[in-house]
Structure 1
Amino acid sequence: MERADAIVIGAGHNGLVAANLLADAGWSVVVLEATPHPGGAVRSGYVTAPGYLSDLFSSFYPLGYASPVLRDLELADFGLHWTHAPDVLTHLLPDGRAATINRDLETTMASMEQFAPGDGERWRHAYDDWNDVSGSILKAILQPFPPVRTGLDLARTLGVGGSLRLARRLVLSARELGSELFQGEGATLALAGCALHTDLSPEEAGGGVFGWLLAMLGQEHGWPVPVGGAQHITNALVTRLESRGGRIEYETPVSRILIANGQAMGVRTADGRNWRALRAVLADIPAPTLYLDMVGDRWLPPRFVEDLEFFRWDGATLKVDWAVNGKIPWKNPAAANAGTVHLGADLNGLTRYAAHLATDEIPPDPFLLLGQMTTADPSHSPAGTESVWAYTHLPHRKTWHPDEIATHVDRMTAVMESHAPGFGQLVVGRNVFSPADLEKENPSLVGGALGGGTSAAFQQLFLRPIPGLGRADTPVERLFLASASAHPGGGVHGAPGANAARAALARNRKLTGALYQGVISAANKAIYR
């Protein structure tokens, strides 16, 4: 039986962040990864045509760039460097107009001003509001729940009135927030399109804050990509971990958490081997997989298991990568310099698109989120060409017929042709990842869900993954949830992994560890009795 202070299940970026932090604390760490590759949804590869590099799952990283978790790991020392497209984001409307965010504030203001007089200044005011709270907001979002110290700092900065107004803003839909901040459709579309990077419609309560967060991060930091592809985030985390003595075992899926007297003692892998965890087990896998498949009912409170029945996934994803032998022939040249392009819908179109998803229907007019990778990083394809991807959401289902996927890819291509006539003639290679393909490549992307569970307000903060403490701690002592199913959820920022590592370290402190565990156990008993 192999032994380590910590066993980490899954070499996704959250698992690697957790492993690095524990190794920094002097723990011996072994990471067990089910697939042949590290990185989970943070990987790159050549899947379309020779010389065209694709980011296979996630791509642009405003949260990763701004995340204090990743920043403190100093990944630049291990080969991670960032680059930007000239424009952050362009949203193309069906009538041909475009709303563009650029890291230069005046450029963004000029774009928004085209939609309504005064919206340029209104964007500046929204950005000023963001600057007042951005540091505290990011800390509050990415730290373990509840963020007491950061919350107090934020309250002191804003005062009573400002805090109440911010609290109201946090629960508005993207449409409502946009209508309060702006007069024209362009700026509101920028927010609503950003909210749809999650599974939140323009009408959904709490969706506005996601749109505001991503749009304002774009204004402040841009939406950068790693030079050489997303894989370089993973490579840096792996190299850093190995430099500190950590180890990763590939093609080693975990089948069971080994538990004795209510404590996680280690894991059993599919090949029958047992792995002893001397201090903690951390799981970078979806919550239902951990609790229902690896832990089992015996070790969980009955009410906890009942609550898991109401865990909700985010929508499925269909992703297409194209190798384009030339530059995309956009009808509106405003899209040419944007790393990310939203296209296929105005504000009402986004609402109709989301309504189809909510009623388990395939949207007849898909909304596309598109990434021009060579525009952001020229190393992705030969000069004068473009490595590009687009994805759209589908209802979350267990199975999809290949004809349904093929038909919807045709719809996506038609959207591209409507905005860039002749696009198809330039395509020299293509790769399609259906929801099932995404899950096959990365088992944590259950049904093609990218976020580890819905971003809806009913499954956030202390309600994630189910009503509870909103922390990495679980009802099984020394077992910690380190995936996007835990607070604060999806996105490549490392917070779930960091929070799990901090919880494991707190549990093992000599003087206060027993007190910490006692408080957690008492709280869990009160919640799940």
Structure 2
Amino acid sequence: MITRTADAVVIGAGPNGLVAANALADAGWDVLLVEAADEVGGAVRSAEVTAPGFQTDLFSAFYPLAAASPVIAGLDLHRHGLAWSRAPAVLAHVQDDGTGVVLESDAQATAAGLDARAPGDGGAWLDLVAGWQQVRDDVLDALFTPFPPTGALVRLLRHAGTRGALDLARLAVLPVRRLGAERFRGSGGPLLLTGNALHADLPPDAAGSGLFGWLLAMLGQDIGFPVPRGGAGMLARALADRFTAAGGEIALRTRVTAVAVAGNRAVGVVTADGTRVRARRAVLADVVAPTLYRELLGPRHVPARVLADLEAFAWDHPTLKVNWALDGPVPWRAPGAGRAGTVHLGVDLDGFVRVAADLAVGTLPRQPFLLFGQMTTADPARSPHGTQSAWAYTHLPHRRLAAAELREHVGRVEEALERAAPGFAARVIARHVQTPADLEAADANLVGGAVNGGTAALHQQLVFRPTPGLGRPETPVAGLYLASASAHPGGGVHGACGWNAARAALADDGPTGAVRRRLARTAWARLT
């Protein structure tokens, strides 16, 4: 029985779904946003899970892409309670011998620290920063707009020149290990670049890892690694409040089990209790691609070639996350690490390669690479004065791990912290562990603990994301749009996947919609 009719139904209230819903509501559409969980946010949520008064970001935590995103900026979320907070220093990479390198909030200060390790490396860093400033806006426009980003690329060529554009093209395929070796004499710069590259699932010798490392390092130097004041959930709450203020409706605890299709067009959704919701104009799915095509649509409505391509769909590495409530600051051996919101630790430059090799062959690294968040340093509201709310995550191999293996690996995580910060264990008030299964149970899009919506490797980016196709949010079913991180440009909290899906839906409903739909059908027919 149809109990609700809307112009559009958006499946999933993660950041991309929330952005898509806002864009459609702003255009005057009647929009219903349905979410299986009992709160909005997807992988942008926070809660007290360690000890009373300690706020923990349950999934994502630092948001340079959100702060830089023209999509997020255009929503004026400060009007709905969002405020950004930043740590005194952006990021540190610390080593077991007590040495470290710090990405300071000021580029000159970062350069001075690099020069202290290897004379000349400060200048090399400032050269990177100057190059970034020259192409910043064009790169971000190209990153966040639908493929192909023709206008952004034309502007980039005009601003960077032929040589600069060629340098960027080379950077796009350069391994981060090679980038660091070419640019710096010492290890400081390469440590910063490589650690940032491994925020994704790319090995340091993989093509494209240099671009990820450069992008995140430059964003860190440019705008920092900000956090929402009060917890990650404040970002999701601001998006939700903005949407409902524009007239949108959110249905929580409502799991969609199927997309309704008639005449090869999406006409609504079916929920777990059998309720049918009709969509007059579009259905947008903030759902990972394998789930959308295999479960919500099924083989009857998906071309055989697309289903076959999904057999090769590659997930990013599973994640193990450990959260702590600490009774004081982390006793880092490395100077400056206590001022950074994000800390990388556990490995040196060669250690990055060893970790990647272990993961590639299905082995748990003996010395894992850790991303560590000092949340109270970044936002004093996260825990009582003088304490620290902290977490660390590390990547796991692509295989099902026994409970004993996971417990052993949590021990390795804490051993790495004890080496870099002797006395860490004595500061722990409480600990909370999130295994890959826990992550997926909390958010169905985090399949097997993969947080990126699919690997960020070049073979699954651009026109290859999520499968070889158009690199756009349109799907083989008219009126249905992929709005999750499985779509271009991929993972990270920037809202572009949802925004692109909404813009495509609006364009298809507009005066040129018939032509656009005909072109899309022709393109899909040739691809399948």
Smaller-chain TM-score range?
over 0.9
Aligned to 2:501: 500
Letter matched to residue 366 of structure 2: P
Q: Contact 2:288–2:453 (CA<8 Å) still a contact in 1? A: yes
Q: Secondary structure at the match of 2:225?
A: coil
Aligned to 2:513: 513
Aligned to 1:377: 379
Q: Distance in 1 between matches of 2:167 and 2:108?
A: 27
Aligned to 1:3: 5
Aligned to 1:36: 38
Q: Map Cα deviations across residues 164-221 of structure 1 (whole Å, 9 max, x no partner).
A: 1210111000001111111111101101100110001111110000000000000010
How big is the shift at 1:67? 0.4
Aligned to 1:526: 526
Q: Contact 1:374–1:381 (CA<8 Å) still a contact in 2? A: yes
Q: Map Cα deviations across residues 314-364 of structure 1 (whole Å, 9 max, x no partner).
A: 000000000000111111232110000000001100110011111111111
Q: Distance in 1 between matches of 2:197 and 2:34?
A: 33
Letter matched to residue 526 of structure 1: R
Q: Distance in 2 between matches of 1:251 and 1:7?
A: 15
Please report the RMSD computed on the Cα atoms of aligned residues, expressed in angstroms: 0.8
Aligned to 2:290: 288
Structure 1 residue ranges without an equivalent (≥5): none
Correspondence list, 1:7-26, <5 A = 7-26=9-28
Aligned to 1:265: 267
Q: Distance in 1 between matches of 2:5 and 2:398?
A: 39
Q: Contact 2:257–2:272 (CA<8 Å) still a contact in 1? A: yes
Q: Contact 1:192–1:201 (CA<8 Å) still a contact in 2? A: no
Identity score, percent: 54
Letter matched to residue 512 of structure 1: T
Aligned to 1:450: 451
Q: Map Cα deviations across residues 288-333 of structure 1 (whole Å, 9 max, x no partner).
A: 0000111111112211111111100000000000000011111123
Q: Contact 1:353–1:363 (CA<8 Å) still a contact in 2? A: yes
Q: Contact 1:54–1:229 (CA<8 Å) still a contact in 2? A: yes
Aligned to 1:353: 355
Q: Map Cα deviations across residues 257-302 of structure 1 (whole Å, 9 max, x no partner).
A: 1101100011111111111010000000100000011111111221
Correspondence list, 1:173-252, <5 A = 173-252=175-254
Q: Map Cα deviations across residues 365-411 of structure 1 (whole Å, 9 max, x no partner).
A: 111100000000000011111000000000133x4321111111011
Q: Distance in 2 between matches of 1:390 and 1:174?
A: 23
Q: Distance in 1 between matches of 2:33 and 2:490?
A: 21
Aligned to 1:400: 401
Q: Distance in 2 between matches of 1:58 and 1:447?
A: 16
- The number of equivalent residue pairs is 526
Letter matched to residue 441 of structure 1: A
For normalisation by structure 1, the TM-score amounts to: 0.99
Q: Distance in 1 between matches of 2:442 and 2:113?
A: 39
1:318 maps to 2:320: yes
Q: Distance in 1 between matches of 2:395 and 2:116?
A: 30
Q: Distance in 2 between matches of 1:113 and 1:94?
A: 21
Q: Distance in 1 between matches of 2:269 and 2:8?
A: 11
Q: Contact 2:179–2:210 (CA<8 Å) still a contact in 1? A: yes
Aligned to 1:362: 364
Q: Secondary structure at the match of 1:406?
A: helix
Aligned to 2:430: 429
Structure 2 residue ranges without an equivalent (≥5): none
Q: Distance in 2 between matches of 1:382 and 1:35?
A: 29
How big is the shift at 1:93? 2.2
Q: Distance in 2 between matches of 1:286 and 1:232?
A: 24
Q: Secondary structure at the match of 1:369?
A: strand
Q: Distance in 2 between matches of 1:158 and 1:134?
A: 10
1:150 maps to 2:152: yes
2:168 pairs, out of 166, 180, 183, with 166
1:107 pairs, out of 87, 106, 109, with 109
